[in-house]
Amino acid sequence: MRIGELSERTGVSRRLLRYYEEQSLIVSERCANGYRRYDERFVDRVLQIRGLLDAGLPTRIIKQILPCLDKPRHIVFSDATPEMLATLEGELDRMNGRIACLTQNRDAIASYLEEVRARAREDAA
C-alpha cells in the first residue's frame, strides 16, 4: 500500500509516517516511480507505535522494544545499557501508574452511568 492508504488506515499523517521511517520504526520499499510502498503488517505496527508514543515513550526507546512486539519473538539486545534498562523500568512504572489512574476513572464513570440509568428506569416506571 502507498503512504496515503497507510495514513488513512492508521489516522497518522504522511509527515509522521515519513518521520517514523527516518527513525527506522517502519520501512518502505520504493517503487520504480519512487513512491513508498508499505507491507500490510505496518498498519498494526504504526498503531503500536502511536500507542507507545501516546504512553510517553520516546522514539529511541520504541526502536529498541519493537522486536518485542513481533511474533515469533526473537529478542537480542546487544546494546542494552544499564541506562536504557533503567529508562524502560521507569517508563513501565509510569505506565502502570497511568493504567491504575485510568482504571479508577473508568470504574467511576461506569458507576455513575449505572446509577443514572437505574434512576432513569425508576422514573420511567
Task: Report d(CA 45, CA 87) in Å as an integer.
Answer: 22
| Alpha-helix runs per DSSP H in 1-125 | 3-10, 14-22, 42-54, 59-69, 82-124
At 81 the pLDDT is 79
At 76 the pLDDT is 58
Annotate 85-116 with three-state secondary structure.
HHHHHHHHHHHHHHHHHHHHHHHHHHHHHHHH
At 78 the pLDDT is 67
Q: Tens of pLDDT along 62-116?
A: 888 887 776 655 555 667 778 878 888 888 898 899 899 999 999 999 999 999 9
Contact assessment for residue 28 and residue 37, using Cβ atoms and an 8 Å cutoff: yes
Contact assessment for residue 62 and residue 95, using Cβ atoms and an 8 Å cutoff: no
Set of cell numbers at residue 4: 496515503
SS3 80: coil
Calculate mean pLDDT across residues 18-44.
91
Q: Give the whole-number percent of the chain exceeding pLDDT 70.
A: 93
At 71 the pLDDT is 62
Set of cell numbers at residue 10: 492508521
At 67 the pLDDT is 77
At 98 the pLDDT is 87
Residue 36 has pLDDT above 70, yes or no: yes
